[in-house]
Chain A
Amino acid sequence: MTALPVPAIGAGALDADGGESARFLGWVAVCLAITLVITCGSLVVGTSSIRTSLHWLLSPDAQSSVILWQIRFPRTVGAWFAGALLGMAGAVAQGVFRNPLAEPYLLGTASGAALGVTISLMAADASMSGLAWAGQIGVTGAACVGACVAIALTITLSRGMLQTAGLLLAGIVVAFLLSAVTSLLLLTQPETWRAMQAFLLGSTGFLSWSSVILLGVVFLLCIVPATLLSRGLDALTLGEDTAQSLGLSLPALRLALLGVLSLATAAVVGQVGIVGFVGLVAPHLVRQTLTVNHRQLLIAAPLCGGALLQAADLVSRWIVRPTELPVGAVTACVGGSYLIVLLWRRSRDG
């Protein structure tokens, strides 16, 4: 437009700002450093004192090396993968639903997983064959199956994936229905209810090397397609019509991203139960501090989520020694207060 003065800006103006990419790299480095520190620190934090743990580390015997390398180490590595998956799932959910308050559990996965676990625990109590069956798929398997059933229900209820609003509503309906069924079942079986608490609050206590391998594989299976589709998520922020006009097939894009979202959440819920707020807060933290596109967000949010859940895990082990807090309670406290600060700041800034 001729009326406007044309500023003397070189071709470089179109490329990412040097300062901005330095900030991004700095952010990645900080997350990795925190993860490294926590991973080392978590080896010496547990029910025994730090001095004992240090002594174990320096002169290990058979028993202590089992505690360090078969219990504490896989637990903290697993916590990182679970947090990373939640952070990634949160970023994907917020992108697909074009809603900054979207979170990984909004397809009903959490309620589905809870119902799956309830049924398996009740079956184990009820009969020998039920016990055998429950033992075979385990709590984590039951949670995973429950989460998948919930996702299938949500997608069926919203009749395909034409509208994100319909999908969101269907997710809420499925979550309520399945929670109601879970509550009804638990009312009849108060003993199961106690056992369920650990799962409902989320716990990193069950993580073993096999869960680390499982979470790691799922993480790779999710992060690769998610990063490849990141341009689609960028385009979706411009609105559905515009994204479509750019040459994207919205149903195919949504299907792929919801697949990633479902796989990630189902795997996490199966391994650590329902850990809230990490998936919601991690992408927010990134966006608060950096100007990112979705490719960068999908790198930064998992790093942030992983560090967050590891930190929460460490706190939950440390704060009420020699017992433990459920890690979900810690993330809820930290994440909840962060959101309050965020809202307060927003309303103050107008």
Chain B
Amino acid sequence: MAEVMRALIPVRAGLACRELSVGYGSRTVLEGVSLDVRAACWTAVVGPNGCGKSTLLRALAGLMAPRQGTISLQGRQLTSWSRRERARRLAWLAQTATATDLTAAEVVSLGRFAHCGWLAHRTAEDAAAMRRAMLATGSLPWARRRLSTLSGGERQRVHLARMLAVEASVLVLDEPTTHLDPPHQEDVARLLRQQAHECGVCVLSAIHDLSLALMADRLIVLGDGGVIGHGTVRDALNHDWLSKAFQTSVNIVDYDGVHLWRPQLEMTSNG
């Protein structure tokens, strides 16, 4: 019966975890976290430095083994996917845009690794995916340049193209807007929203910039003790999760329906 149900109802959950505990060595970073990250939705993870944003993303992307709990990708245990199948469905973007001596085109072609395998037999479909990804991120002009000769922002866009080239249904991004100037941050945010809304992709990203994070559909707010709250941006503002997470008053203003973080530079009593 369950099999029939699964076949009839399209799976809407991109990523989910139940009672997840993760840590490094003797230090437990997060404990008892349960989340559902929806498909066709852009979810941003926010929280203070060192609260475990990257750790949560790494665990959900299957890059580190959880201490306890389960993670599921598209309704199936993350560990039950084969390595190649998982890599086709879940793409990862690391926080640091590594400089390598490979050309931008080679880096993007690595995004097709799970599709073409060790011998790198590139089909027309692979080439089309690479081209689409590089066009979408504006990195096509540097296709033949070594990554080590590009600026930090340009490099980041090549890595973004590499991740898009996977054409995965779940994207996990750790700080995708670092190194980027404001117009390109805007481009990335637009791209993430477009991926979620038009392509039905489950997008999960840690974002440092609060104003940018508030552009997302849903927020996961992390604090010192774990998840403060998980819901729509409206929920987050209504319950003042951000202030709780950062343990100081976080001033969000509504500007024509757009939520912006307003730094408070005046001396305040709770400063």
Contact = CB atoms under 8 A, between A and B. Distances in A.
Interface string B192-206: 000000000000000
A237 B118 contact: no
A244 B86 CA distance: 11
Given A9-B140, A13-B143, A229-B118, A234 B102 contact: yes
A241 B92 contact: yes
Given A9-B140, A11-B127, A14-B105, A1 B191 contact: yes
Interface stretch (B19-27, B45-53, B106-114, B228-236): B106-114
Looking at chain B's contact residues, the main secondary structure is helix
Contact of A7 (B61, B109, B137, B140): B140
Given A11-B131, A228-B118, A246-B114, A1 B138 contact: yes
B265 interface: no
B94 A249 contact: no
A137 to B, nearest CB: 37
A237 B83 CA distance: 19
B135 interface: yes
A31 to B, nearest CB: 19
B91 A231 contact: no
B136 interface: yes
Interface string A234-275: 110111011011111100000000000000000000000000
A73 B68 CA distance: 64
B120 A13 contact: no
A319 interface: no
Interface stretch (A53-61, A114-122, A286-294): A286-294
Interface string B151-182: 00000000100100000000000000000000
A235 B102 CA distance: 10
Interface in B62-97: 62-63, 83-84, 86-88, 90-94, 96
B187 A3 contact: yes
B160 to A, nearest CB: 10
A213 B248 CA distance: 73
A245 B61 contact: yes
A231 B106 CA distance: 10
A236 B63 CA distance: 14
Contact of A247 (B87, B94, B120, B190): B87
A126 interface: no
B103 interface: yes
27 contacts: A1-B136, A1-B137, A1-B191, A3-B187, A4-B187, A6-B135, A6-B140, A7-B140, A9-B141, A9-B143, A13-B105, A13-B144, A14-B108, A231-B118, A231-B120, A234-B106, A237-B100, A238-B100, A245-B61, A245-B87, A245-B92, A246-B110, A246-B111, A246-B114, A247-B84, A247-B113, A248-B83
Interface of A: 1-4, 6-7, 9, 11, 13-17, 20, 228-229, 231-232, 234-235, 237-239, 241-242, 244-249, 287, 291-293
